[in-house]
Chains A and B, each alone.
Chain A
Amino acid sequence: MTPEAERKLPALTPETEAFWTGGSEGKLLIQRCTQCGRYQHPPLPLCPACRTETMAPAPVSGKGRVKTFTVNHQRWLAGLDPTFVFAAVELPEQAELYVFSNILAPPEAVRSGMPVKVCFEHREDVWLPLFQPDDADAG
């Protein structure tokens, strides 16, 4: 399912490092306010509600649902297998909390609303959060 071409990796910053490396311990880390409990992704220095520097990476369940998705067909780069699923995954921890990623499933099996769970692909110093069907939560 994984396209052949090497993934272009993200630069790690003080804000984003936890998100990209939590997979080293099998955890999806999403920034959360230690004061009011609000999640925010992508990470930023301040809590958008409290406007204070109270954000810290927090492990989430790693479960989610495909909010919307696309099956790519166009070869954007040489060597890239053009068939992949790109999706917005909504995490159950907060309404409209989305992580963009790939769904590791046959394209014809992917539907909006389908339950998924996180898995990680390790490249260099990055653990990319990817998602696969969560058969345990098929309801």
Chain B
Amino acid sequence: MPADSYPERQVRITGIGQSKVGRPSDRSALQLTLDACLEAVADAGLSVDEIDGLTNHFGKVAEGGGISPVGTIETMLALGIRPVWTNPSTAEGPGHMGAIFQAIMAVATGLCRHVLVFRTVGQATSRLASRESTLLTGSRARVDGGNAFFVPFHAHSPANMWALYAQAYFDRYGVGPEQLGWVAVNGRRMAAHNANAIYREPITIDDYLASRMISTPLRLLDCDSHIDGSTALVISHRDAAKDLRNPPIAIEAMGMSVGGLAEGLHEGDFTAIAATRAGEMLWKRTDLKPGDVDCAQIYDGFSIHVWLWLEAVGLCAPGEAARFIEGGTRTALDGELPLNTSGGQLSAGRFHGYGHTHEGCLQLWGRGGGRQVKDARTCIVANGGYGYGAMLLRRD
């Protein structure tokens, strides 16, 4: 198939929106969703009535402590639209990118002209009711599925799982917290320029090392933070994007993969993730090379994700991400690869992948203000800890 017939080449990103972050918010999860959606539609220069597709990650989830409290149906009703296509992505897909990839395909097949995609989290509000871990355990008497292989051993949190990766990476490559901490330090200095980040006070590597241990070797500052908030974007057909408000952002290539981790089936030696397949797919779909990437927005549910993802998408060779980020020079705004310029989830809050895509677009539109990457023309966005999705965005 010629590259110009790939589905992602048929579409453009035309608008973005994000609610005010809250910890907790005084607005409901549905209100936050509508804030983000209306902002994205207005940003694109569209009217709400022109939205003919609606999706989100990952549907309305009743259990799970606010992981996804708002679905597409109530959003459709609240917006007063009747799109020809609605279908949330699932937790079994290529991570948080699942809904974006579905939107791409709905537009590329000609079903829709303008698909609105959103992701809402209400985890800060949920934690007012209970601070206990509920994501893996649920309320059932017995644990089933993949969680049956973690929870009976008291591993109630993904922190325990990702700690295994951090320890294995430390052991194999001879690095430690003095390197890992720079993921958090890098994000925090970026967040100082992001008015919608929840943590904006600068931290040092010593602050990081002094933060309390969660699950060795992961400390508090290795973990992202629960928030209430919503992010939205509009995926439009390229022909319908030409005369809109923003210069369209092209999706040069996408890549996706899913591993067995959520089912308790691990492949490899715990120093790499199945996202490697997503990275390989992405680079097969473009003539651009990793050296052409101007900035990177890399999923950081936990700090260790950034190392693993940078290597999975070929921006660092295996074992080199730790030293690449250490010291923060190469990932600074004026460095060779500015990284997580919104602060990432560690500092901006867990917008759950969608903050990264929002930031990628913002950079390519030159709206970064104090955190703008000079002349940013390409940005890689990578999302997911269990299923994996990546996009290479470029100014059209």
Contacts and interface: CB of A to CB of B under 8 A. Distances in A.
Contacts of B146: 42
Contacts of B164: 68-70, 86-88
Interface stretch (B234-242, B259-267, B322-330): B259-267
A98 B159 contact: no
Contacts of B137: 8, 77
Given A9-B152, A68-B165, A73-B215, A100 B264 contact: yes
Contacts of B215: 70-74, 86
Contact of A84 (B144, B154, B163, B263): B154
Contacts of A9: 142-143, 152
Contacts of A7: 152-154
Nearest to B167: A68
A86 B160 contact: yes
A77 B152 contact: no
A84 B151 CA distance: 13
B213 A73 contact: yes
A112 B160 contact: no
Interface residues of B, number: 41
Interface residues of A, number: 37
Interface of A: 3, 5, 7-11, 13, 16, 41-42, 67-74, 76-78, 80, 84, 86-88, 96, 98, 100-102, 107, 112, 126, 128, 130
Q: Report, nearest first, the 7 A-B pairs whose CB atoms are least far apart.
A: A70-B163, A10-B148, A76-B156, A68-B168, A11-B142, A76-B133, A11-B144
B151 A112 contact: no
B132 A71 contact: no
Nearest to A84: B154
B289 interface: no
B307 interface: no
A72 B171 contact: no
Interface in B149-194: 149-157, 159-160, 163-165, 167-168, 171
Given A73-B212, A78-B132, A100 B142 contact: no
Nearest to B165: A68
B288 interface: no
